[in-house]
């Protein structure tokens, strides 16, 4: 396994991070335990979760993933060996009525209550990383394009949110803070507030990044590099699309897009055309398409960790093994050629 520093801290996190959003939905508790056992044995010391999980979000599985991880931590006694990150869900009145009635504000009440519930479910008294899952304000995330200013966009001031998180750091409940699904404006606003008010600084940004969505490179990559708040890349396989298993309309039994066909972000025509090219390139080079896609993400200089997910042990092993793959220069050149033909088909 390879390791990189988490932001400006002295914490070494594995370049492969275990994503857990399938625990309690596509994976049983026993399967989740097996995944965590195997990942840990392979040197993965970084686990990522969220109060929102399992996915897709629904009231009956709210918090289930954290509960499963908490049981594993208690059973294995490895809390001190795991870098553990979770997230507070943002507002979502139209799709998250079961989480604070969908009216989350990043204020003291919401953050403190959500954090305390997360700690209880995880059987721990602290988190290594606590992240805001998406912005409270009206802006672009989850693949949204275009920007329409909203005159009545009343959101908790960044300085106020940061002060509350800083208090949790001082209280010992969290060690460090991060953002997720953020924009360059949002990231720099948190960095500026921390500098001006002498508050805790963000150490990471968890955003989508893959061969099908390299939009992070446009503005956020430079911020990650210069400000020491590296990318935690989620959906590095585009919901598994870059493995090639969904090409030509295939829908394998039990696979995510088979079970949840509304998740179309990485399955639009341009994304399918790009995927055909990437998969063909991998096979021409004797590589597994999924491993090639992950190896590309792993190699980015602005990346801290690649968040993988799997529903089977075979997938998990393959994804973790991507850390051992160094892509030859000619393969990277071919990847760039495909990217130029199909730039960011899944924003």
- pLDDT by 10s per residue, the chain, length 347: 999 999 999 999 999 999 999 999 999 999 999 999 999 999 999 999 999 999 999 999 999 999 999 999 999 999 999 999 999 999 999 999 999 999 999 999 999 999 999 999 999 999 999 999 999 999 999 988 888 888 778 899 999 999 999 999 999 999 999 999 999 999 999 999 999 999 999 999 999 999 999 999 999 999 999 999 999 999 999 999 999 999 988 888 988 888 898 888 899 999 999 999 999 999 999 999 999 999 999 999 999 999 999 999 999 999 999 999 999 999 999 999 999 999 999 98
> Six-digit token pair at 340?
């130029």
pTM higher than the cut 0.85: yes
SS3 248: helix
How far apart (Å, rounded) are the C-alpha atoms in residues 108 and 160?
8
How far apart (Å, rounded) are the C-alpha atoms in residues 146 and 18?
32
For 166, how many CA atoms within 13 A lie in the half-sphere containing its CB? 16
How far apart (Å, rounded) are the C-alpha atoms in residues 139 and 156?
14
Exactly one of 3, 8, 38, 53 is catalytic; name it.
53
53 in active site: yes
3-341: CATH topology is TIM Barrel (3.20.20)
Q: What are phi and psi of 52, to 5 degrees?
A: -65, -30
- 197 close to 328: Cβ distance less than 8 angstroms: no
- 164 close to 109: Cβ distance less than 8 angstroms: no
């Amino acid at each position: 396994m390879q390791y990189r520093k988490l932001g400006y801290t002295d914490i070494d996190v594995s370049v492969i991070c275990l994503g857990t959003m399938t625990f309690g939905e596509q994976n049983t508790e026993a399967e989740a335990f097996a995944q965590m056992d195997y990942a840990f044995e392979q040197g993965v010391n970084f686990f990522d979760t969220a109060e929102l999980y399992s996915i897709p979000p629904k009231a009956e599985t709210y918090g289930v993933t954290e509960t499963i991880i908490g049981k594993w931590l208690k059973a294995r006694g490895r809390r001190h060996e795991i870098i553990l990150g979770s997230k507070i869900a943002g507002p979502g009145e139209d799709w998250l009525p079961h989480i604070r009635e969908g009216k989350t504000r990043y204020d003291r009440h919401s953050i403190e209550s959500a954090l305390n519930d997360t700690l209880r479910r995880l059987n721990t008294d602290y988190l290594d990383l606590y992240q805001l899952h998406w912005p409270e304000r009206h802006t672009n995330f989850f693949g949204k394009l275009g920007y329409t200013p909203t005159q009545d966009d009343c959101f908790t001031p960044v300085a106020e949110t940061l002060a509350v998180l800083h208090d949790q750091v001082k209280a010992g409940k969290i060690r460090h803070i991060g953002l997720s699904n953020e924009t360059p404006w949002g990231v720099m606003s948190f960095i500026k507030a921390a500098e001006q008010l002498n508050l805790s600084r963000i150490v990471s940004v968890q955003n989508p990044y893959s061969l099908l969505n390299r939009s992070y490179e446009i503005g956020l990559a430079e911020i990650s590099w210069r400000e020491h708040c590296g990318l935690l890349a989620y959906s590095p396989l585009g919901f598994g699309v870059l493995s090639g298993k969904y090409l030509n309309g295939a829908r394998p039994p039990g696979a995510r897009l088979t079970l949840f066909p509304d998740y179309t972000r990485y399955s639009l025509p341009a994304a399918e055309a790009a995927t055909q090219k990437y998969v063909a390139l991998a096979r021409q080079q004797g590589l597994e398409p999924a491993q090639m896609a992950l190896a590309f993400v792993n190699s980015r200089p602005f990346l801290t960790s690649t968040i993988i997910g799997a529903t089977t042990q075979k997938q998990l092993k393959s994804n973790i093994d991507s850390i051992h793959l160094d892509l030859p220069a000619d393969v990277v050149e071919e990847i760039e050629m495909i990217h130029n033909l199909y730039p960011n088909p899944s924003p």
